[in-house]
Amino acid sequence: CSWSDGLPSSHDPVATVEEVRRRLHLAGRGGFTEGTYPASSGVVPWTVPELFPETEGDGGGLRTALSPASPLARDFDDIVRHDAGAHGALRVLRRYGLLFVRGTPGTSDAVAAFASAMSGGTAKFEGGSYLPSYRRRRWSSSLPSEDWKVGDAGYRGGMLGDDEWTLTDGPMKTLYGQIWSTDPFGMAGGQSMADSAYSCDSLPVHTDMTYYPNPPGLQIFNVVSTASQGGESVFVDGFAVAERLRLSNPKAFQTLSTLRRTYRCTDWETGWSLEASGPVIECAGGTDSPVRRIRHNDLDRLPDLLLEEEVDHDLYAEVERAHAELNRLLGSDEYRLVVRMKAGDMVAVANQRCLHGRHSFKIDAYNRRTVNGCYVSQVDLDSRFRMLGYWC
């Protein structure tokens, strides 16, 4: 056909299909051995001994994950104040799926500013990004050094001069609000607390919001105060575990990467009913391609297989064996990074890759273990990664 300027235009559906095939080939199986990741992806699966070879068991993570020499740690001011620092933090996240942040203010504004630095477009403009106003208030020479903290009880969209309806980055809106707190007194009316995080119990490692079709890309935790006893955080690289399972138990990997499970969250008090499904291990292409997503939370999963009269007992037995083997690997000291975080420590977890959990804890009148945080969407996170040159 021809346009009004007289120049011809054509569309070749075969060529388009071939281009899609080429891109899928590059993303999943282009010249790589099974289960490995292309250099262009930036992804490097890890185990605890590989990251911290001098450590053994839980004690190692307790000592080193936030140390100056840790490959996983950066300083809050460097990340939020300078674009180059944010880009360095994003590279750590892409490589390891986990980023520890030292020296974080114990405010929800700090969480929102960090989320802004990790999301949205690379150019941070006034009105479209939360970051410029935070930087101005925090580091402007015209303000007393402590003035930026005044009235900083909570992030409320445009409270620092931004119009929340024009913001293009920052915390993702969920049933828990944009910024949430594990302290019920820090939650606004209408924010859901239908989550096991609002207890003192231990939590097995899991990914969050498995009941969303596309779960959040980042889960951010900022420690405001610690418990009197216990409460250590636990992290596992789900990609590393999945790749080990692929090699050590191909049948279990096949089961977990092809069988869709259903996850649900219902909060009658605030009126939410959320449900989604997907395999525990999702691959980029076929089951011999690199792992793209982990969706694993036993506390969210419905009893979603067939009714008793329709049970395929062989399938049940295989699912049970596969699930048990996965949980065995997730509980191994080879993969479990245990960290005792303190006030001022923050962690960003690539929620579709790394799993997180915690030890049980005790609180008293002076030590309540308060954590605030937020989510960043996977769409926003992938955009930032692509702008840094990574293939997503």
Sequence spans of domains, the chain: 66-126+167-388
pLDDT at 157: 39
Higher pLDDT, 238 or 156: 238
Q: Which residues are 356's β-sheet partners?
A: 206, 235
Question: What is d(CA 79, CA 73) in angstroms, rounded to the nearest whole number?
Answer: 11
- The answer to whether residue 145 scores a pLDDT higher than 80 is no
Return the number of other C-beta atoms located less than 10 Å from residue 25's C-beta. 13
The 10s digit of each residue's pLDDT in 31-62 is: 333 457 888 899 999 999 888 876 544 444 45
Least confident piece of the model among 21-25, 313-317, 331-335, 349-353? 21-25
Question: 191, exposed or middle or buried, with CB in 10 Å at 0-12, 13-18, 19+?
Answer: middle
Higher pLDDT, 200 or 77: 77
Question: What is d(CA 267, CA 300) in angstroms, rounded to the nearest whole number?
Answer: 12
The 10s digit of each residue's pLDDT in 158-202 is: 343 446 678 889 999 998 888 988 764 554 555 554 545 556 677
Tell the CATH topology of 66-126+167-388: Double-stranded beta-helix (3.60.130)
The 10s digit of each residue's pLDDT in 263-319 is: 988 888 888 899 999 999 999 888 888 999 999 998 777 666 655 556 677 888 899
The tokens 């009941």 sit on which residue?
211
- Output the pTM of the full model: 0.82
Which residues neighbour 114 within 8 Å (Cβ) at sequence distance 6 or greater? Answer: 76, 79, 80, 101, 104, 220, 222, 346, 348
pLDDT at 33: 39
Predicted confidence band of residue 359 (pLDDT cuts 50, 70, 90): confident
Going by C-alpha positions, the residue among 218, 231, 115 that lies closest to residue 182 is 231
